[in-house]
Chains A and B, each alone.
Chain A
Amino acid sequence: MNLKMSVKRSDGVKIYSVPYEPKMRILDALLFIQEKLEPDLAFRWNCGEGVCGSCAGEVDGRPVLMCKKEITKDMRDIRVEPMKVFPVIKDLVTDPGKVYEKLARLKPYFTGKKQSNFPTVYEKEAAKSQEMRKCIDCFICYDSCHVIRNHPQMGFTGPLNIVKAAAQDSHPLNTFSRTKLLEKEGVKFCNVSRCCTENCPQDIKITEHAIIPLKEKIISDTGIIGLIKKIGKKNEQI
């Protein structure tokens, strides 16, 4: 039995016929095409086991890691495309560089106190940061995000960078808050549709554990509640 694979290449959609093997992945099908049919078909991959996050693309319109996406029985006519939100370098290879340009504004590194000895950190305190640190930079959340896809001009930093910021902000030894920096990066445009969470191959609860707490923090720091807090503080000082 053969699969029909429609691959969006730089010079248009090409259709290939690929013999089906049980438990086959999208990556296997692409490797077959490259080996037997079209030597210069370009796609990015490295580990082949879902940890390096290199091979994200869109299969039947949905962002996935191609090394993990199994070709199931109902998939015989498969559409493979590059991630839509990035400029294409060639075929399925895109340039995700702009995410990191945005990330650079968020101090994406440890901002805690210097420790002279091994710090005492309990497992419970580490849990949230550890969840965020599972991120493999595959850009699937970014490619899944409606705000990024439909309204790029809004300048939203995107879910990936919020995860990176949360990884630092929730570090048990952290002393610097990125809330204000993030507020400037269009977090308000996120309408918590949970697409990022649903597509995350690392099962990070991006919406629930990173975005919503951030939105709450922004409101409590800067909205009417923040104002009340500020006044309260001033009164304390008097």
Chain B
Amino acid sequence: MAAIEAADLGAEVVVIGKTLLGKAHTVMAEGGINAALGNVDSPDNWTVHFADTMKEGQMINNWQMVETITKEAPKIIKKLESYGALFDRTPEGKVMQRAFGGQSFRRTCHIADRTGLEIMQALSAEVRRRNIKNIEECIITKIVRIKNKVVGALGISLRSGEIISIDCKAIILATGGLARVYSRSTNAWETVGDGYALALDAGAELQDMEMVQFHPTGMVYPESAEGLLVTESVRGEGGILLNAKNERFMSCYDPARMELSTRDVVARAIFKEIVEGRGTRHNGVWLDISHKPKDFIEKKLPKMIGKFKDFADIDITKEKMEVAPSAHYAMGGLCVHSETCQSSVEGLFAAGEVAAGVHGANRLGGNSLLDILVFGRISGRNAALYATHKESGEILPRVLKQEEQRLCRPFERQGVRAIDIKKRLQSLMWTNAGIVRNETQLNFALKEIKNIKKDAERIEVRGSRVYNHDWIQYIDVMAMIPVCEMIVSSALMRKESRGAHYRSDYLEKKDLWLKNIVVRKDGENLKLLLRPVPEVPERLKVFLK
């Protein structure tokens, strides 16, 4: 979306991706995209959407960004339709909307359970219409700046193994998230947090890094399907959660909203059921939609039927699904200007999951697809405007050489495999910085991350540079280490429980902590500071009551 907008404003744009065009993690988004169209529940409007989003974010969101996405949402759906996206329809021929957790009305627009794929198809087609240049299968490893201004980026091309260097005036990070730093994740293979690491290294400020959303329902069995997303739409369309004793346990945690409570509440409830011994054989709980008519499930959740049939030999129209929480989304990310999406580094913009502000301490299902489009567009527009009146810089050959040396060092040494370090880090994060945290575990995690950092200096890579996965794993690990450090340090600092951040040693939510934890690089270390949340103006406060 950013590329489309920037190109329409006349900027020369290059889209760079780790995968082939149109295959990034967004295609895996299933449930839908929120917009207060009121097509199904007519009293809905942007102010209710605003209030739902702020409340779910536990009031540490940036209200201005929330106002922007909730107001822009209907326009963005219209924009998608103008790109040919075809949402499911109501009997009157309007865009259909379904119920999602934590929302006052049925608001989530969708295309069965493949909404992300549809959006990606529509956007890829627009990129092709405009002949926007795109470099596929390339990992950016460094943002180069002179003083506090972006001059370009360096990376490797997977196909040639060569270092590539791009001089540019502005960069928009739209890298997606970091959930693959956890051993159980709903995310695609590529989502290891590169964007956050690049920004930190470039000197940008990040915030809310402790806020990691665990999706309540990921698959648990078989092993090859572990972590895969089971869309919230299953519950939105009437699915219920049961423990091994066949009790509908959500009645103990949120009797009013039951399965459609917010994601943090449902994830912790499932976690607790499992920890306390009421879990299933594969350490999960049951999710059941088999009480609904077969043709209804076939129409609404075709992908879920396929996923369970293909991976687990389970027919969800007749049998229960086994599920457990899985790392899903990072609410934190770059601190960006709420109107331009520019970070604290000049010329460095960010949009979508890698940027912070919209979701606060927890994200509503259906708000992330909205976020990427609304702020994708805004960042594209502002990056293009920024670039029109700036001189371009240039990456010095010395900087390129240094980066090449850093990247290629593992080919010259003997030591440990990157994949082993990666797995160690992922399981460390899952056990010690996951759904429930405490000081002892977080301190242990921080110490271990430092050890891992040392061990990573001995990573070796064999073979050629062309499409070498071992080398990619090394690059991943080098990005994951600072990302994990940011998550754990921020989680240690926030001595309360709020939204997705749950501390077993500080169970209460405290007004004192109506703050954002900001992190940036300070030499080899991290510097953390507290920043008060921008206060919601009176004209909007009325909607929050």
Residues of A participating in the B interface, judged by any CB pair closer than 8 Å = 21-25, 27-28, 34-35, 39-42, 44-54, 68, 70, 89-91, 93, 95-96, 100, 103-104, 108-110, 112, 114-115, 117-123, 126, 129-130, 133-137, 167-168, 171-173
Contact = CB atoms under 8 A, between A and B. Distances in A.
A89 B81 CA distance: 37
B23 A46 contact: yes
B277 interface: no
B98 interface: no
B94 interface: yes
Contacts of B463: 39-40
Given A27-B224, A51-B117, A46 B84 contact: no
Given A46-B23, A49-B307, A120-B94, 9 more contacts: A46-B25, A51-B114, A68-B310, A95-B159, A109-B83, A110-B83, A118-B37, A120-B92, A123-B91
Contact of B23 (A90, A137, A172): A137
A49 B225 contact: yes
B461 interface: yes
A18 B40 CA distance: 53
B49 interface: no
B81 A93 contact: no
Contacts of B312: 23
Contact of B89 (A52, A91, A126): A126
Interface stretch (B123-131, B283-291, B429-437, B500-508): B123-131
Nearest to A129: B86
Interface residues of B, number: 62
Given A23-B222, A47-B189, A109 B20 contact: no
B470 A40 contact: yes
A27 B469 CA distance: 14
Contact of A104 (B116, B128, B225): B128
A22 B224 CA distance: 10
Contact of A89 (B28, B159, B224, B225): B159
Contact of A133 (B20, B86, B94, B129): B86
Given A23-B311, A28-B224, A42-B468, A118 B78 contact: yes
Contacts of B224: 23-25, 27-28, 48
A109 B129 contact: yes
Contact of B22 (A28, A110, A137): A137
A50 B117 contact: no
Nearest to B137: A44
Interface string B58-99: 000000000000000000011001111010110111110000
A133 B159 CA distance: 29
Given A47-B28, A110-B125, A112-B84, A121 B188 contact: no
A47 to B, nearest CB: 5
